[in-house]
Structure 1
Amino acid sequence: MGENIVVVGVDNSDTALRAAQAAAEIALAFGARLHVVTAFEDDRTEEFGVGSDRWIVSGPSRAEAVARDVVASLGWPGGSGEVTSAAWRGKPADAILAEAQRLRARLVVVGNRRMRGIGRILGSIANSVAHGADCDVYIVNTTGDAD
């Protein structure tokens, strides 16, 4: 059995935020640590600038910022357990599975985005995680429909 850790996979979408909110509620209810993970597929670095100001942004730093932003938006209450985040290089499902296995998570939470229509035929992150996880998987209805 895994440790008392809930892993949630996110990107910068509203549906991922809904999955993260559900994961936070579950983690708080069970006194679990919440771990937010996001993925990036390239190490490309871009430079942005206005006048003499320059910013260098890489794939990993953008992904880490997404995870941190999701954590910040959750309003995790102080003293209610730990919340952490990470960015992994690779496909989203692989990143979520790798973190869950590395942490020996008890539960993985993902949204149901792309589980209908052509996404159902081609596969989805939720489908890949559900079939590959070594722990329980909770798929959150993030579309607002009651399928």
Structure 2
Amino acid sequence: MTGVVIVGVDGSETALRAAKAAQQLAIGLGANLRVVSAFDTNRTEVVEIGTDRWIVSDAAEAEAVARAVAEQLADDRLEVTYSSARGKPGEALVKEAEIHDARLIVVGNRRMQGIGRVLGSVANTVAHTAPCDVYIAKTDAP
């Protein structure tokens, strides 16, 4: 199998567990891995200290999270790319899968029990709307 495996991350330990599962699946399938972090707002702030000026945005913060995870997953056996994507996490992952003609989306099972199961979860959204196969990694236990 070739193609792209998409995984969503948010900086949490459980998301990192899903990303590591995605890495192993991508290696085994001979696919590329794309690490995606979603952001839901376009909040931008300008920070000035003395003569230094920084522009901080939700998109930049999300991309930094995706980049950090992608760097941790770097492996000679696969190509790892990263990006930020605007939207709610589940919807953003599905959109990225459509854009990149993904073969697989990997998500964790966090919030699939209790009230999260009733109100919805990223895994639930992705499983019901993905244009490709979905792998739900067990991330609620180390």
TM-score (norm 2): 0.92
Does the aligned pair in 2 maintain the 1:3–1:103 contact within 8 Å? Answer: no
Task: Indicate yes or no: 2:131 matched with 1:134.
Answer: yes
DSSP-derived class of the 1:98 partner: helix
Give identity over the alignment, percent: 56
Gaps (5+ residues) in structure 2? none
Residue 81 of structure 2 is aligned to residue 84 of structure 1: yes
Who is 2:119 aligned against? 122
Q: Which residue of 2 aligns with 1:35?
A: 34
Paired residue for 1:105, among 88, 102, 108?
Answer: 102
Identify unmatched segments of 5+ residues in structure 1.
Answer: none
State yes or no: 1:70 paired with 2:52.
no
Amino acid at match of 2:106: V
CA distance in 1: counterparts of 2:47 and 2:55, whole angstroms: 6
Q: What is the letter of the counterpart of residue 15 of structure 1?
A: T
Whole-Å separation in 1 of the counterparts to 2:39 and 2:110: 18
Matched letter for residue 90 of structure 1: G
SS of 2:90's equivalent in the other structure is: helix
- Give the stretch that moved more between structures: 58-67 or 80-89: 80-89
Question: What do you get for the CA RMSD once the two structures are aligned?
Answer: 1.7
The aligned counterpart of 1:24 is: 23
Q: Distance in 2 between matches of 1:122 and 1:6?
A: 27
Return closer, same or farther for 1:73/1:28 CA change in 2, 3 Å cut-off: same
Q: How far has the Cα of 1:48 moved from its partner?
A: 3.9
* Contact kept? 2:2, 2:29, Cα under 8 Å: no
- CA deviation string 1:45-81 (max 9, x = no partner): 123455554432111111110100110122x223x23
When the two structures are superposed, what TM-score results if normalisation uses the length of structure 1?
A: 0.89
Cα offset, 1:3, TM superposition: 5.4
In structure 1, what is the Cα distance between the partners aligned to 2:78 and 2:141? 29
Q: In 2, Cα distance between the equivalents of 1:91 and 1:24? A: 23
Q: 1:112 to 1:7 in 2, by over 3 A?
A: same
